[in-house]
């Protein structure tokens, strides 16, 4: 839910700022200094500061940043469609707060297995294949594979 709220806020500010710029071009709003800054950043392929404020830290150019934002939304959409299904692959680099996600995994596991939370650790297997490749198998013992 936390990740969805972050993304919702980011998308809201992207859409509202672009809508305001469009209205300013139509003459229905007065062009402000902030609107001009956003337009200049877009022309320079930079992520506008307002979007970064509500988004995620990145050194990407605007095109790459927007593609990454789209991928983040797609990952959240997959989770939204079937929230009970545990994904075998999660791109934690597409989360604004990956530590929160990893802690939640440990909490769920500790509750299910009646283990002490502070004694659990996260192990990561870095795979040289993509999640859509057919021979990808879940880790043994019900562990999850996290893609980077």
Q: Tell me the per-residue pLDDT of 73-112, one tens digit each, with 9 for 90 and over.
A: 998 988 888 877 777 778 888 889 888 888 888 998 899 9
CB burial of residue 51 (10 Å; 0-12, 13-18, 19+): buried
Please, are residues 45 and 62 in contact by the beta-carbon 8 Å criterion? yes
- The pLDDT-based confidence of 147 (bands split at 50, 70, 90) is very low
Question: CATH 1.20.1270: which residues of the chain?
Answer: 1-83
Token reading at 42: 């877009």
Residue 25 backbone phi and psi in degrees, to 5: -65, -35
pLDDT at 85: 77
- The pLDDT-based confidence of 123 (bands split at 50, 70, 90) is confident
Q: What does pTM read for this prediction?
A: 0.75
pLDDT at 140: 55
CATH tag, 1-83: 1.20.1270
pLDDT at 37: 97
Q: What end-to-end distance do the CA atoms of the chain give, in Å?
A: 21
Does the pLDDT value for residue 129 go beyond 70?
no
Looking at every residue in the chain, the average pLDDT score rounds to 85
**pLDDT, greater one: 76 or 124:** 76
pLDDT at 14: 97
The CA–CA distances, whole Å, from 19 to 22, 28, 106, 141 equal: 5, 11, 41, 50
């Amino acid at each position: 839910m936390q990740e969805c709220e972050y993304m919702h806020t980011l998308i809201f500010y992207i859409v509202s700022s672009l809508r305001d710029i469009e209205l300013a071009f139509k003459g229905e709003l007065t062009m402000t200094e902030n609107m001009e800054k956003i337009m200049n950043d877009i022309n320079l392929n930079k992520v506008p500061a307002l979007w970064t404020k509500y988004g995620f830290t990145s050194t990407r150019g605007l095109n790459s940043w927007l593609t990454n934002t789209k991928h983040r939304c797609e990952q959240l959409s997959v989770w939204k469609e079937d929230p009970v299904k545990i994904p075998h692959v999660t791109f934690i680099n597409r989360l604004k707060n990956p530590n929160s996600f990893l802690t939640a995994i440990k909490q769920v596991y500790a509750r299910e297995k009646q283990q002490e939370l502070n004694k659990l650790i996260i192990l990561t297997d870095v795979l040289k294949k993509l999640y859509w490749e057919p021979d990808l198998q879940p880790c043994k013992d019900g562990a999850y594979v996290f893609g980077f």
